[in-house]
């Protein structure tokens, strides 16, 4: 389900998971918006659902350039094709395809970080509601509280 103002408004008004959003009002200060945004975007153990898909930016964030340079041309081409999508699915298969002969090296820890990333890790409330990689921005909250 894509992030939308109506669903975000309901989340902020009702706080169903008792995250501690500021008391709902259409006149939130910037600090209140920031607090709600932080609560929505902070990974928590309660939302550890991100084992089957991962965002492109999260995957890229775990790769060190030295480990990428060590990859074979075939694995580099595979990675470039993979990164065309903003959400990468079947992450265990992706991890296995990026590793092995000619794959992502681990001299700088990339392989270890990718293995952790594609395993079951904490996700945020925003990701729990709207999918892997979703981040609520202040503009989303301002639209939702109007």
Backbone angles phi, psi at 26, to 5 degrees: -75, 5
- Residue 136: partners with Cβ closer than 8 Å, 6 or more residues away: 3, 8, 36, 37, 40, 41, 126
Going from N- to C-terminal start, the domains of the chain cover 5-42+130-145, 53-118
**pLDDT of the residue at 100:** 67
pTM strictly above 0.75: no
Run of H or E residues at 88: strand 87-89
**pLDDT of the residue at 122:** 76
User: Could you read off the pLDDT tens digit of each residue along the chain, which spans 146 residues?
Assistant: 689 999 999 999 999 999 999 999 889 999 999 999 999 999 888 776 655 677 888 888 888 888 888 888 888 888 888 888 887 776 777 777 777 666 777 778 887 787 777 776 678 899 889 887 889 999 999 999 98
**pLDDT of the residue at 110:** 82
**pLDDT of the residue at 118:** 73
**pLDDT of the residue at 120:** 66
């Amino acid at each position: 389900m894509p992030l939308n103002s109506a669903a975000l408004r309901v989340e902020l008004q009702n706080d169903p998971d008792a995250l501690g959003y500021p008391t709902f009002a259409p006149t939130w200060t910037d600090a209140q918006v920031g607090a709600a945004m932080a609560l929505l975007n902070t990974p928590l153990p309660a939302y550890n659902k991100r084992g089957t898909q991962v965002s492109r930016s999260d995957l890229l964030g775990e790769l060190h350039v030295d480990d990428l340079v060590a990859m074979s041309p075939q694995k580099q081409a595979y990675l470039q094709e993979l990164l065309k999508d903003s959400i990468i699915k079947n992450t265990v298969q992706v991890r296995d395809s990026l590793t092995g002969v000619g794959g992502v090296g681990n001299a700088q820890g990339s392989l270890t970080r990718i293995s952790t990333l594609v395993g079951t890790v904490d996700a945020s409330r925003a990701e729990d509601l709207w999918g892997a990689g979703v981040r609520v921005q202040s503009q989303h909250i301002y639209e939702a509280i109007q």
